[in-house]
Structure 1
Amino acid sequence: MEKEFQMTLPEFPDICAKTLTDNQAVSILRVLGHSQRLKILCALMEAPCTVQELGNLTGIKQPTLSQQLRVLRDHHILESRRSARNVFYRINKNNC
C-alpha cells in the first residue's frame, strides 16, 4: 500500500522566485510532474535523508529511487552529501 503524502503549496520550493526562461520552466515542471519524484520531494521537506530512508518513507524500490534521485540532482533540485558509507539528499534551496 502506498503511503499518502500531503503538502501545501507555500511549503514547496517556489520555482517562480527567480527568473526562468520558458524552456527552463517547462523543464522543471516536467521533472516535478512525476509522481515518484513528488513523493521524494515531500519526504525531503522534513529533513535530509539517505536512499534507504527515502525508500522506507516512499515505498519506492532502490533502483527506481536511484534513477529518480539522479534526475532531481541533474536538474539541481536536490543536492547530495556523502558521510562515510551514506549519501544524504536534501532539497537545494539555493537553486529555488
Structure 2
Amino acid sequence: MLDINKHFLIEDRRRADREYRCFKDLMCDVVLLIDSNRMDAAKERMIDMNQSLNELACMSTKKYEEDKFLRNHNELVKRMHEEGIQFEVLRSVYGDGLR
C-alpha cells in the first residue's frame, strides 16, 4: 500500500490519493478487458494508467525535492551555528527570503 503521507506534500495528498485509487481501478479494468478480449479498450485504459502514474511520480518528486531542500537547509543552519554565525543576523541583512 502506498504511504500517501510519506511520499507526497501535504497540499498534494488528496490529489495523490485520488490518482492512486484511479490507477488501481484502471489496473483492474485492464485485466477484465484483456480477459474479455477487448484489447483496444485495454490499451486505452493503459494510457490512462500511465497518465495517473506520471502524475503520482511528479507529485512524489516534489516531495523528494522539498525534503532534500529542508535537509540541506537544516545542515547549513547547524553548521552556521557551530561556526558562530547568527542566522538572525543573516535574515536581517538578506530579508525574509531566508527560511
TM-score of Structure 1 vs Structure 2, range by shorter chain: 0.3 to 0.5
Which protein, 1 or 2, shows the higher relative CO under an 8 Å CA cutoff with sep ≥ 6?
1
Counting strand residues as a fraction of each chain, which structure ranks higher? 1
TM-score (norm 1): 0.38
Q: TM-score, normalised by structure 2?
A: 0.37
Q: Which has the larger radius of gyration?
A: 2
The structure with more helix, counted as a fraction of residues: 2
